[in-house]
Structure 1
């Protein structure tokens, strides 16, 4: 660990036993539990919003988040003599949620519902509310559809087309029709009223509820087993060795950097889309996610309709399109070609799932 980092660490009221290297950070075993310590380059105002969200969860019975550790001066951000900034957060023994394990997926959906039940009527300042409301989804869909159309014209007019571009044109019509249909139906939905209600109630979304940020908790003995490597860790050998007591819970939720005020069903969509893509749009996974969430936080028909429209929109196709258009187009990696082919091949199965979901609206 660099001297500058050591200097910043002295600003905390903790005793450090072990230090582990992680990607872009250090994991610390301390007398106050496992902590993550890293450089900070974000906005202080944004961090205060994130802190408010996590403190609200903690105060209302959800302790398993990466709460910021405050310095001796009661600050969230620590600074060394050179002006470099750092943050320290609570961290956890555990492993990332396995999206192919149906039981873990169901637990993660239930965990999201529990958080959403708590993340309402959060006491933000007027300024925090104004600067952290979700973007208008209708405008987002319209903008993305224009981008899809522009890229299609660009690819079509190329004289020599590579493998990616030929595949892109092959799949384009189906995906573009989905995008147009989603935008049209969203404009006819209760979206505006639902968003206004979410803002009025100060309902908060995690903003990035994916497997990286869902930690299935383990005790230290399990976490240090040879067959297990904790998320983000580069090595399992500490710079010094000591033993701490074991502790275990259920699920921890981390990394609220993208949290915002908005319709919480968008979190469920983001989680669900990732799971369904990983499992070839298996209907069982989709229905069980909805049921696990709904048992704890019932989903209204208007919310279910928004979930359907979000899933209908071809977000993955748009992302691949956007990456292609903003990259060096003369060479496309085999990985991106395979991504395009995979979502193209999955589209029929996705349609079958969406048909079943639409039938209960």
Structure 2
């Protein structure tokens, strides 16, 4: 245990028995249960906002979240003698959700449905609405579509193209067309009404509901890492979890059906919400992400990993489209 950690430990009403590393942080075995110590680079306002959401969840009966622990001065952020900032929060022993195990997937989506209920009608300040509301998808899709066109123009104008660039031009059209279609559909849909309703009701999304933020304990689940929590339409969490699960399972209908069925058992989705989910899945987000990474780096040498990502997205397009067709028919 190094001196820097001891300097931080002394600022808390904790007796630390054991310390071990875990993903850029330290897990602490203490007299008050398991805790996590990690460096902190965010803002105090955001930390207070995030912790207030977690406190509301606990008050409403959703107990297993990684609440921050205040130090002896009552602060959530502690500082060492070199100016480094740290937080301590509650932590949990268990297994991460395995997205290839349909039992784990069902358990995780049920947990999300349970989580979403107490994340509605959370009283927030005008300032929090200003800083922590979702950006409208129409704005995002317009911007991303412009960026995709810009990258295509940039690559087409190059005299010599590397493997990534040649592959990008070959597969560009169908993905861009899906981006344009998604934007058309969302403009025609009830999305703006759903969005404004979510803001007025002060509903919160986890913002990063992925496998490594879901801990399966022996008889319960814990949900961690609310740093990306935003005020907005909770379908965004379902979309993120469903998309990542489907990508892991080559867009196997069984997983998609299970996710929507299990969520709806706890909290039925409206037709408008299902249509929004379809549009979000239609938008080629992963293609845009890989494209954006390439353009922002503008490297003459592109790693084989990024080329493989691009090829992987292309390889899954047919099975993804088949699932989208299936989902579209289901919601008619």
Q: Does 1:176 align with 2:176?
A: yes
1: CA distance, partners of 2:27 / 2:244: 28
Structure 1 counterpart of 2:278, from 293, 297, 308: 308
Displacement of 1:77 in angstroms is 1.4
Structure 1 alignment gaps of length 5 or more: 218-247
Describe the superposition over 1:73-124 as per-residue Cα deviations: whole angstroms up to 9, x where unpaired. Answer: 2221122344332110111111211110011011111111110011011122
Match of 2:198 in 1: 198
Q: For 1:151-230, what aligned pairs fall within 5 Å after superposition?
A: 151-217=151-217
1: CA distance, partners of 2:37 / 2:24: 9
Displacement of 1:4 in angstroms is 3.2
Match of 2:12 in 1: 12
Displacement of 1:330 in angstroms is 1.2
1: CA distance, partners of 2:23 / 2:261: 36
Shifted more, 314-323 versus 63-72: the winner is 63-72
Displacement of 1:347 in angstroms is 0.5
- Asked if 2 retains the 8 angstrom alpha-carbon contact of 1:52 and 1:124, the reply is no
Q: Does 1:346 align with 2:308?
A: no
Q: Does 1:335 align with 2:296?
A: no
**Structure in which a larger fraction of residues adopt helix:** 2
Describe the superposition over 1:162-212 as per-residue Cα deviations: whole angstroms up to 9, x where unpaired. Answer: 221121111100000000000010011111110111011110000011111
- Asked if 1 retains the 8 angstrom alpha-carbon contact of 2:9 and 2:16, the reply is no
Moved over 3 A (4+): 80-83
Displacement of 1:50 in angstroms is 0.5
Displacement of 1:128 in angstroms is 1.5
Structure 2 alignment gaps of length 5 or more: none
Match of 1:228 in 2: none
2: CA distance, partners of 1:360 / 1:186: 18
TM-score (norm 1): 0.89
2: CA distance, partners of 1:21 / 1:179: 42
SS at match of 1:359: helix
Q: For 1:124-135, what aligned pairs fall within 5 Å after superposition?
A: 124-135=124-135
- Equivalenced residue count is 331
2: CA distance, partners of 1:297 / 1:331: 48
Describe the superposition over 1:34-85 as per-residue Cα deviations: whole angstroms up to 9, x where unpaired. Answer: 1001121110000011001111111111111111111122221122344332
2: CA distance, partners of 1:57 / 1:323: 36
2: CA distance, partners of 1:282 / 1:249: 28
Match of 1:265 in 2: 235
TM-score (norm 2): 0.97
Match of 2:90 in 1: 90
Distance of aligned partners of 1:10 and 1:312 in 2 relative to their CA distance in 1, 3 Å threshold: same
SS at match of 2:330: coil
With a CA cutoff of 8 Å and minimum separation of 6, indicate the structure with the bigger relative contact order: 1
